[in-house]
Amino acid sequence: MSDNAALIGGFVIIRYTVAMQDDIDKVLFGTDRIATRVAELGREIMDAYGERADSITIVPIMTGAMIFAADLIRQLPARLKINLMTVSSYPGASIRTQGSKILEQQLGDVHGRHVLLIDDILDSGGTLKLVIPTLKKLGAADVHTCVLLRKDRETAREVEVDFVGFDIPDEFVIGYGLDYDNLYRNLPSICTLKKEVYAPEAAVTP
Ligand code: 5GP
Ligand code: MG
């Protein structure tokens, strides 16, 4: 292992500043596993769209989907367009949704386009339920959805999504674009946080 790498739960990850390194509880998915699944998702999406792939407009939901979308679009060999939407649901130091709100839209002309929404994680489903009708109102030919992670919660299972990277337990996760208080997005693996980071009082109570 090189000097700037560390081993956490059997995964090699880049060594970060001690402050960030120490906050990680466990690694759920390392970089290889993510890359393999993202490549598979790319093939699933290309197969599903077939000839229509050249009329796809990708809409990553910012900021969490930024890294996933950047990797996924490079696995989609189609003449696609990209537009952005910024939605906030876990503002600041929240670990449960505070209700989804569209903060910004740079959607351009999605009229007649096959829109593929990309989000990092499906939790309460509030984000997709908010965003899908907005895109339909703008005249998208159809709107499909791709999430990297889906939590094992009834609210998440009730929402229909077309492409899912991984099903995960109902835990708060960070890394690969996902944040806590706008931190940890640059971790290349998907991890859980130590409880004392987001609930310091709970962690010291026996
Ligand atoms: P939903 O609207 O389905 O409740 O949640 C979707 C959004 O909430 C995601 O795009 C993400 O921004 C945020 N979110 C939900 N669960 C988590 C989580 O475990 N970790 C982080 N960092 N964000 C989450
Ligand atoms: Mg989000």
Annotate 83-149 with DSSP letters as a single string.
Answer: -EEEEESSTTT-SS----EEEEEE----TT-EEEEEEEEESSSHHHHHHHHHHHHTT-SEEEEEEEE
Instruction: Find the 159 Cα to ligand 2 centroid distance in Å.
Output: 16
pLDDT at residue 83, as a whole number? 96
Residue 206: per-residue pLDDT = 47
Q: Compute CA distances 142 → 25, 110, 131, 136, whole Å.
A: 40, 10, 13, 7
The neighbour count for residue 182, using CB atoms within 10 Å, is 11
CA of 64 to the centre of ligand 2 (A): 5
Q: Which of 23, 119, 120, 123 is catalytic?
A: 123
Residue type, 130: L
Residue 148 neighbours by CB under 8 Å, 6+ apart: 38, 65, 68, 119, 120, 121, 164, 165, 166, 176
Residue ID of nearest Cα to ligand 1 atom 23? 178
Ligand 1 pocket, Cβ-based, cut-off 6 angstroms: 61, 64, 89-90, 97, 100, 119-127, 172-174, 178-180
Architecture in CATH of 5-204: 3-Layer(aba) Sandwich (3.40)
162 is catalytic: no
Give the closest ligand to the alpha carbon of residue 182: 1
Q: How far is the CA of 120 from the centre of ligand 2 (A)?
A: 6
Instruction: State which ligand 1 atom lies nearest to the alpha carbon of 156.
Output: 3
88 CA closest ligand 1 atom index: 12
Would you kindly state where each structural domain of the chain is located, as residue ranges?
5-204
Nearest ligand 1 atom, CA 172: 19
For residue 80, the CA-to-ligand 1 centroid distance in Å is 26
Cα–Cα distance measured from residue 145 to residue 96, given in angstroms and rounded to the nearest whole number: 22
What is the chain's pLDDT, residue by residue, as a tens digit (206 residues)?
Answer: 666 677 767 766 666 666 777 899 999 999 999 999 999 999 999 999 999 999 999 999 999 999 999 999 999 999 999 999 999 887 788 788 778 888 888 888 899 999 999 999 999 999 999 999 999 999 999 999 999 999 999 988 899 999 999 999 999 999 999 999 999 999 999 999 998 898 876 655 44
Tell the residue number behind the tokens 């503002």, with chain if given.
91
